[in-house]
Amino acid sequence: MEKVTFTIDGRQVSVAKGTTVLQAAIEHGIQIPYYCYHPGLGVDGSCRVCLVKIEKMPKLQVSCSVVATEGMVVDTRSPEVVEARAGVFEFLLINHPLDCPVCDKGGECPLQDFSYAFGRKESRMEFPRRTFDGEGVRADVDFGPTLMLNRNRCIMCTRCARFMRDVAGDEQIGIIDRGYGSEIATFREEGVHSVLSGNLMDVCPVGAITTRDYRFKSRPWDNPNAVDTICTGCEKGCNITVWIKAKPEWAKGSQLARITPRYNADVNQYWMCDIGRFGYHWVEGAERLSAPLVRKADGALEATTWDAALKALADRLGRADWGGVRFALSAHASHEEMFALGRLAMALVGDAAQSSIGVGWNVSAKPQAGATRFTVPDVDAPNVGGARAFGLVEGERPTPTVASLRAEVEAGRVKALYVLDPGPAGAIGDLSWAVAARKDGRLPLLIAQGPVATDVTRAADIVLPGCAWVEKDASYANMQGRLQAASQGILPPGDARDDWRILADVAAALGVPLGYDSAHEVRQAIAATLGSEPAVAGIAALEFRRPAPAATWLQASNPMERLKWDFLFQDVLPLKFENTRDPGHRAGEKT
Amino acid sequence: MRLPEPVLTPHVKKPHGHTLEHYLQTGGYQALRKALALTPDQVIEQVKQSGLRGRGGAGFPTGMKWGFVPKDSPKPKYLCVNADESEPGTFKDHVLMERNPHLLFEGCVIACRSIGAKVAYIYIRGEFYHVQRVLEAELEKARAAGYVGKNILGSGVDCDIWVHRGAGAYEAGEESALLESLEGKRAQPRLRPPFPAVVGLYGCPTIINNVETICNVPVIFDRGAEWFASIGPEKNTGPKLYCISGHVARPGVYETSMDVTLRELIYDYAGGIPGGRALKAVIPGGSSVNVLTPEALDAQASFDGLVKAGSMLGSAAIMVMDETTDMVWAATNLIHFYKHESCGKCTPCREGSDWMHKVLQKILRGEGSMRDIDLLLGIANNIGGKTLCPFGDAEIAPVVGMLQHFRGEFEHYVREGRSLVPLAPWRAREPAGAHAH
Amino acid sequence: MSFHPQMPYGTPQWHRSERVLADEGPPFAFTPENRQKLEEIASHYPPERRVSAVLPALYLVQEQQTHLTGNAMAHVAEVIGCSRAHVEDVASYYVMFFTKPVGKYVLQVCRTLACALNGAEHVTAELCRQLGVAPGGTDAAGEFTVMEMECLGACDRAPVVMVNNEHWHECQSPEAIQALIRDLREKGVAALTGCHHTKE
């Protein structure tokens, strides 16, 4: 790649040709504030806070729009720049309500932080602030099903309008009025209706757009831990960060504070959909299973211990019935789980193991504009790619096969149906036929493994509580066939166990141990068996993250943002920039 | 050489002076024939030699601008005529289009052909609907007569001209905002580079010229580049229209050359100030340039002459203020204009224009302090040179210029709570609408 | 509308913005003539750049029904092929589009320096006094709306009044206001002096 070398603040930096001065500064940890620029939305040039001095140019330049050239000399700290930048911050704050204590963005707000670092120490504005819908949180108004809008806080960077136009391909947000009266708006206050709406909160550099899901739920400093993982809501496999709440109150409430996208150039860029972002509440919902259940003689399901449940399973599933066991497998299962289930099936069914497993998932079309640059796939499961790699489904665009078990079950030829669905309720697709067959006795035994109570677990004889995706380390292959690691962020509730281990425990209870002591060993076995398959290549070396202290808020939303936060919080000068100001330079102000 | 006779506006007073018939009778479309006989490069060369500089405000050499269009670009090219004449005090293009539309069309066709454009859009401000009707009626005739449209005068050159009407936005006069507006968006400026000559309308190479600039093009071919270059002072060549308004006896558009002085324009052409009152201030180039005092009256009203005098020729809109004018009021009037017309895209202009207006209103109410006067300069300082488009520099001119020359009037307001000059008869005691804004 | 079952849309706990919206208005569609006019105008632009015709389309709406309504803007979006938010965005930007009802005659008085130096303040004040409205307001009969405009570009004829975005009345004085109102009532826009030399 062709490089250019130039100087910022006396430092030599070398960047790819075509890089702007601002991008180069961000990459090298040099402090230049910005609002309208966003790496995923491009350059707009309207906020004017990224002013720098460039040698041989008469005026100050906005660094977002100047492409670095060989030998360029850039200064971000000269008195002229400091003064001009502080002036722009003064403009930004003359109408911004300082209601940070009741703003969800407070604490992780670029306007707060950049103003702290680069702004004036006081404002010369003495007139009342412009208000649109009243003062304080009264101004938080309806902005569609997922969002709230506070127009008082808006600084008109237009990132939201540009996101909807350029990424979502659906120009639902416009600017109303002009000049001083400009405001962000949707047509006749209809609000934003988009499966990508949550990204508008991410791109908003102030608290103008916030999500209803996160509203007043937590302060950023109450989410000290975050884990970089992936979303398993569909076959896209967006890279995400799961934010974990850690105030003492969390013991009473949920630990998952929110989910934000994490940059991956090849998968999801800077974005994720609302289904993944807001659809995580089932993980800590009322329907979670926290103990194994066994159906008693009176027909009621009763919580019990793992030993008792596994013993009951071994008792109910006589060796003579093994050949008649069938498996319904959700495509929410990870590689490890699919592989372990395959091994269990081979131990029970023998050579016919492959045909004893039916794989299920849901397919749903998402309402999106044709021009969108971020397509949410129809397949609502993360690991159809894995099922294909393991030979459980076939073809370029496989279709669910779980219904192929139906005829056998309804004919009463199946001795036991083992359902493994680690996804949210119903993620495996329609199993009402199995429930009905169990109820009328055509299916003698129904074993259900999964994290939540569903119609299937309610009809089952034995229920084995598993983990949600965020409670275990597991690997998946997305629609591109890319192997990705989902890391554990929180502990599973009660006695719930990692799903591959449940399968291993079941095998052991039946007297056919799989021989794995850890998920890593399962992955090693996968590598040994299927190492050349692209969807699993490198699986033994896969690295999993651990919840890490988010010393830098928004640490993981994307690397560019992360850099910004890194340098801001580690390197704020205690004296701000006052010390670089020439007192005589402050035009128009008496001191 | 002083312009011996009007060449852009010779027939404005004649009732049918704007028609195709009249234009042809007076030698119209002969320049087009001459230009069609030359190669596009030769045309550009002639325009360069004429020394024609853009009449919209910046005074950029027209021939050089045309030369920026990439010749090898496979994309279509466009000419956009900036007829969004909205600089306060300016009404020359209004007269040119209404009274001499074929001169504009002829210039458009020559310009289009030289840059390889097949379409020209005349972006006319929304308030000029009556002008649009004149233009469209005359365009129809020109098309029928083969001066516009396909295969012009049998030369094989195609050039269509369309009139596009704006809807009330000063900012649409800024060239990139004009393109945005023409693309059906709000008139907000674009970041440059890339410049419109490379990436303009619809992402294609585009030249944007002022109406008067384009109207000068046929003159160059009619009378020759040498003749054109001989008119007026060096580097400020060719005929020039001046719009004189305010406190003068005969306000109007006057055509002469740029060796004329402000004094001649105000006292000879426009008949001086009525009632024998004294001149107090003159804004020589539209509200976006610095105000001048009577000491500067002998400055040459040319691009370079007015820069030397501490101001700019701008759109050559000369607004004359006599001794009855309250300069604090005048500054507030103009800042109200800029506050109203700020597009709101970039921070300093959006926030600063309103802030300056509020501070000025406070001073005007007699509630200001000396600190407010300094604050005005401070705000202006934070806007100047830091905005996305030249609007920011324009909007501070009334404040900075007025404070430079008339600071005493501002201080009088602060000390005494009222104006230094008595309320003029042309002012309403209660400024109507002061409360509504 | 909501695809989030846990986030029902429009529940009362989320209050609506106080933004003053254009009224929804009666159902709107261009008349065949106006639709044809619009198609003719749209043909001036490359076919994939049809959105260039959004300003002319909004003018046509105002010709058809004096001001822009929600339904009209939605119709323009459909006809032009852009989003409704885009149409509202553009319509709100330009001062010559009326997003609330106006009188039969909209009297647009220039207020910028050249006109103000020649007494525009008196003209506005007198118009408001005689019609009993504040600037921006419409009289009780819905006949006249008085608006202040920024520089209209006829400074040699100051003070200038434009009527209904297109008709001009120049060199106004407070004394002439009574006659202007009377003439407009009696003769309509034909009473206006026109601009420069268009009256021949």
As a three-state string, the secondary structure of A10-74 is CEEEEEECCCEHHHHHHHCCCCCCCCCCECCCECCCCCCCCEEEECCCCCCEEHHHCECCCCCEE
- Taking CA–CA distances from A158, the nearest residue in chain B reads B345
Percentage of chain B modeled with pLDDT above 90: 95
Assess contact for A57 and A105: CB atoms under 8 A: no
Sequence-distant (≥ 6) Cβ neighbours of residue A517 within 8 angstroms: none
Amino acid in position A573: L
Residues in chain A within 8 Å Cβ distance of B382: 84, 87-88, 90-91
The answer, for B186 touching chain A at a CB cutoff of 8 Å, is yes
Cβ distance of A588 and B377 shorter than 8 Å? yes
Question: Any idea where the domains of chain A sit in the sequence?
Answer: 3-92, 110-211, 293-541
Average pLDDT over residues B397-417: 95
With an 8 Å Cβ cutoff, are B432 and C124 in contact? yes
Q: How many whole angstroms separate alpha carbon B95 and alpha carbon B11?
A: 11
CB contact under 8 Å between A88 and B386, yes or no, is: yes
Please state the separation of Cα C83 from the chain's center in Å.
21
Residue A48: list chain B partners with CB under 8 A: 346-348, 386-388
C44 CB neighbours in chain B (<8 A) are 121, 160, 162, 164
For position A545, what pLDDT does the model report? 86
Nearest-5° Cα angle at B171, B166 to B177: 80
CB crowding A137-149: b at 16 or more within 10 Å, else e: bebbbbbbbbbbb
- A96 close to A63: Cβ distance less than 8 angstroms: no
pLDDT at A528 over 80: yes
> Residue A23: which of A564, A553, A554 has the closest Cα?
A564
Class of A293-541 per CATH? Answer: alpha beta
**Whether the Cβ atoms of residue A74 and residue A8 lie closer than 8 Å to each other:** yes
* C185: helix, strand or coil: helix
> Residue A251 has what pLDDT?
54
Average pLDDT rounded to a whole number, residues B373-398: 95
Tens digits of per-residue pLDDT, B58-77? Answer: 899 999 999 999 989 999 99
Q: Which of B61, B411, A177 is nearest to C94 (CA)?
A: A177
pLDDT band of residue A581 (cuts 50, 70, 90) is: very low
**Token pair of A370 as six digits:** 């044709």
Model pLDDT for residues C142-165, shown as the tens digit of each residue? 999 999 999 999 999 989 999 999
Distance of alpha carbon A400 from its chain centroid, rounded?
A: 26
A61 close contact with B: CB closer than 8 A: no
Looking at this protein, which amino acid is placed at residue B80? C
Residue A488 DSSP one-character state? -
The SS3 of residue C67 is coil
C32-93 to CATH, choices 3.30.530.20, 1.10.3470.10, 3.90.1150.10, 1.10.10.1590? 1.10.10.1590
Specify the CATH number for C105-191; select among 3.40.1210.10, 3.40.30.10, 3.30.1240.10, 3.20.20.210. 3.40.30.10
Q: Cβ(C173)–Cβ(C122) under 8 Å?
A: yes
pLDDT band at A102 (very low <50, low <70, confident <90, very high): confident
Q: Which residue of A has its CA nearest to B340?
A: A179
| Substitution target from C150, C165, C172 for chain B, most B beta carbons within 10 A | C150
Question: Across the interface, do C74 and A171 touch by the CB < 8 Å criterion?
Answer: no
Mean predicted confidence (pLDDT) in A101-106: 87
Q: Which residue has the tokens 């670092």?
A: A117
Which residues lie closer than 8 Å to A515 by C-beta, 6 or more apart?
A: none
* CB-based contact C112 B94, cutoff 8 Å: no
pLDDT of residue A532: 84
- Phi and psi at residue B345, to the nearest 5°: -75, -50
Taking every pair of Cα atoms in chain C, the longest distance, rounded to a whole number of angstroms, is 70
User: pLDDT value at position A153?
Assistant: 95
CATH of A3-92, one of 3.30.70.980, 3.10.20.740, 3.90.1200.10, 3.40.50.300: 3.10.20.740
Task: Give the per-residue pLDDT at A73.
Answer: 97
Minimal Cβ distance to B381: which of A45, A92, A587: A587
Residues of B in contact with C59 (CB under 8 A): 165, 167
Q: For residue B170, which of A179, A441, A473 has the smallest C-alpha distance?
A: A179
Report CA torsion sign: A226, A230, A234, A238: positive
How would you write A543-590 as a 3-class SS string? CCCCCEECCCCCCCCCHHHHHHHHHHHHCCCCCCCHHHCCHHHCCCCC
Region A21-39: mean pLDDT is 88
Lowest mean pLDDT across A525-534, B235-244, B299-308: A525-534
Q: In B104-212, which ranges are E strands?
A: 119-124, 160-165, 206-210
User: CA distances (Å), B129 to each of A149, A251, B79, in order?
Assistant: 39, 70, 21
- Residue B165 and residue C56: Cβ atoms within 8 Å? yes
- CA distance linking residue A547 with residue A255, whole number of Å: 12
Q: What's chain B's length in residues?
A: 437
Q: Which residues of chain B lie closer than 8 angstroms to A182, CB-CB?
A: 344, 350
∠ at Cα A309 (A304, A315), nearest 5°?
140
Query: Could you give the maximum distance between any two Cα atoms of chain A, in Å?
Result: 95
Is omega for the bond preceding C101 within 30 degrees of 0, making it cis? no
Cβ C11 vs Cβ A139: under 8 Å:
no
Is B57:B87 a contact under the CB 8 Å cutoff? Answer: yes
Residues 6+ apart with CB under 8 A from B120: B78, B79, B80, B81, B108, B109, B111, B112, B159, B160, B161, B162
Task: For residues A523 and C25, give the distance between their C-alpha atoms in angstroms, rounded to a whole number.
Answer: 65
pLDDT number for residue B434? 45
Cα separation, B170 vs B86, in Å, equals 5
Nearest to C117 among B86, B202, B426 (CB): B426
Report how far residue A398's alpha carbon sits from residue A9's, in angstroms, rounded to the nearest whole number.
56
Residues C176 and B151: their CA atoms lie apart, in Å, by 52
Find the mean pLDDT for residues A251-279. 88
Q: Are B297 and B390 in contact (CB under 8 A)?
A: no
CB pairs < 8 Å spanning B and C = 195
Residues 6 or more apart whose Cβ sits within 8 Å of residue A145 = A191, A193, A197, A212, C1, C2, C3, C4, C7, C8, C9
State the burial class of residue A56 (Cβ atoms within 10 Å of its Cβ: 0-12, 13-18, 19+).
exposed
Domains A3-92 and A110-211 belong to one CATH topology: no
Report the range of poorest mean pLDDT among A577-591, C20-34, C77-91.
A577-591
Chain A contact for B371 (CB, 8 A cutoff): yes
**Contacts of residue B48, Cβ cutoff 8 Å, sequence gap at least 6:** B61, B63, B64, B67
Query: Chain A closest CA to C20's CA: distance in Å?
Result: 9
Distance (Å, rounded) from C-alpha C163 to C-alpha B409? 37
| Cβ within 8 Å of C, B 122-151 | 125-131, 134
**SS3 label, residue A272:** coil
At which residue do the structure tokens 């206006």 appear? C192
What count of CB pairs under 8 Å joins A to C? 94
Domain boundaries, chain C: 32-93, 105-191
Q: What is the DSSP string of B320-367?
A: EEETT--HHHHHHHHHHHHHHH--S-SHHHHHHHHHHHHHHHHHHTT-
Indicate the residue type of A106. G
**How many Cα atoms occupy the beta-carbon half-sphere of B331 within 13 Å?**
34
Q: In whole numbers, what is the pLDDT of chain A averaged over residues?
A: 88
Chain C residue numbers with beta carbons less than 8 Å from the beta carbon of B243 are: 155-156
DSSP H or E segment with residue A159: helix A159-162
Distance, CA of B435 to CA of C134 (rounded, Å): 9
Q: Which of A240-254, B11-25, B293-307 has the lowest mean pLDDT?
A: A240-254
Q: Convert the pLDDT of each residue in A392-413 to its tens digit.
A: 999 888 999 999 999 999 999 9
Give pLDDT tens digits for A480-520: 999 999 999 999 999 999 999 999 999 999 999 999 999 99
Closest CA to A308 of A298, A299, A316: A316
> pLDDT digit string (tens) for C43-76?
999 999 999 999 999 999 999 998 999 999 999 9
The secondary structure of residue C33, as a DSSP letter, is H
Average pLDDT over residues A282-297: 94
Strand partners, A73: A7
- A88 min Cα distance to partner chain B (Å): 6
CATH architecture group of domain A110-211: 2-Layer Sandwich (3.30)
Whether the predicted pLDDT of B270 surpasses 90: yes
**At residue A262, does pLDDT exceed 90?**
no
Residue C26 phi/psi, 5-degree rounding, is -70, 165
Is the bond into B194 cis (omega within 30 degrees of 0)? Answer: yes
- Residue A298: how many CA atoms within 13 Å on its side-chain side? 3
Spatial neighbors of A462 by CB under 8 A, at least 6 apart, are A292, A293, A294, A295, A309, A312, A313, A316, A445, A446, A447, A448
Work out the burial of residue C48: count CB atoms within 10 Å of its CB; fewer than 13 is exposed, 13-18 middle, 19 or more buried: exposed
User: Cβ-count burial of A7 within 10 angstroms (0-12 exposed, 13-18 middle, 19+ buried)?
Assistant: middle
Per-residue model confidence as pLDDT tens digits over A183-224: 999 999 999 999 999 999 999 999 999 998 888 888 877 777
Burial class (CB in 10 A: 0-12, 13-18, 19+), A265: exposed
pLDDT recorded at residue A27: 82
